[in-house]
Amino acid sequence: MPHLIDPTLTRRERQRESTYVDIVAASRELLRESPELSLRAVAAKMGMTAPALYRYVASYQELVDLVAFEVDKAATETFAAAADALDPDDAPGRLVAATTEFRQWALGNPHEFAIVFANPIAEAACVRRELITLASSGHLLTDLIHDVWVQRGFAVPALDELPSAVREALEDPLIPAKVEHIAAEDRGLVWVYMQGWTQLYGVVALEVMGHMDPRVIESGEMFIDVVRRFAPTIGLAEEMPRLESVIRERLSR
């Protein structure tokens, strides 16, 4: 993403934009080495003093949020690329490739994963709550499930089978997904989105945090197992053997 320069912007505005890009770049570089991201270190890496950064972010938390947002955006492109490595018609393969790439990215960049997905957002202000709803990785994954649903037409839970609390949440969901184009009677699909996200987030967080036998993490077998167990929910039971090879191919890079 070469960050196209908008000519309608004034010179000052363009310079400011590019400084934001620099901030994110410096932050990600620091994050690659150390788990702690410090405002001062970011400033130093950019050849600035710490107070200068306050012209761009109002607080340390806002810096973290900015970086998290951009990291998520950048990572999503690699997930999308993984999906694009397969046939456009192969929605299941694309979904599985993207989720596997998500897992690989998380294990390879644990600090970036932590900043995006392990930052408790109950604490933070509503700003972060809104950011999360904009998460591009979330949009990609829900879109990919949607594609599978369109192609394979798996059965989706009926609204009146779902608990009322869930039904309410499905009417106007606070998750990163396009839902307007989903007919009211198909809103159960959004519940499937949530189930899938729970499974994916669950294993990956577990693996990144290291709360499991390192040899199992290393092998990726628990991740595969989770995918396998979830596959029937989105009508991919029969296809699982093929999908498993898609996963394994990507795990072994």
Partner DNA sequence: TCAGTGAAGTGAACAGCGTTAACCGTAAAC
Partner DNA sequence: GTTTACGGTTAACGCTGTTCACTTCACTGA
Lookup: tokens for 162: 């779902």
Q: Which residues bind a copy of itself (CB under 8 A)?
A: 35, 110, 114, 117-123, 132, 162-163, 165-166, 168-169, 173-175, 194-195, 197-199, 201-203, 205-206, 208-216, 218-219, 221-222, 225-226, 229
What is the closest distance, in whole angstroms, from the C-beta atom of residue 22 to a copy of itself in the complex? 27
Touching DNA, residues 58-117 (CB under 7 A): 59-61
User: Which one of a copy of itself, DNA, none interacts with residue 225, CB within 5 to 8 A by kind?
Assistant: a copy of itself
Token pair 């990291």 in the structure block, residue: 71
Using CA atoms, how far apart are residues 36 and 135, in angstroms rounded to an integer?
22
Using CA atoms, how far apart are residues 57 and 183, in angstroms rounded to an integer?
40
What is the closest distance, in whole angstroms, from the C-beta atom of residue 50 to DNA in the complex? 4
Q: Name the burial class of residue 113, with classes exposed (0-12), middle (13-18) and buried (19+) by CB atoms within 10 angstroms of its CB.
A: buried
Q: Name the burial class of residue 144, with classes exposed (0-12), middle (13-18) and buried (19+) by CB atoms within 10 angstroms of its CB.
A: buried
Touching DNA, residues 13-52 (CB under 7 A): 15-16, 19, 37-41, 44, 47-52
Number of shown-chain residues binding DNA (CB under 7 A): 24
The torsion region of residue 47 among left (phi > 0), alpha (psi -120 to 50) and beta comes to left
- What does the binding site for DNA look like in residue numbers (CB under 7 A)? 10-12, 15-16, 19, 37-41, 44, 47-52, 54-56, 59-61
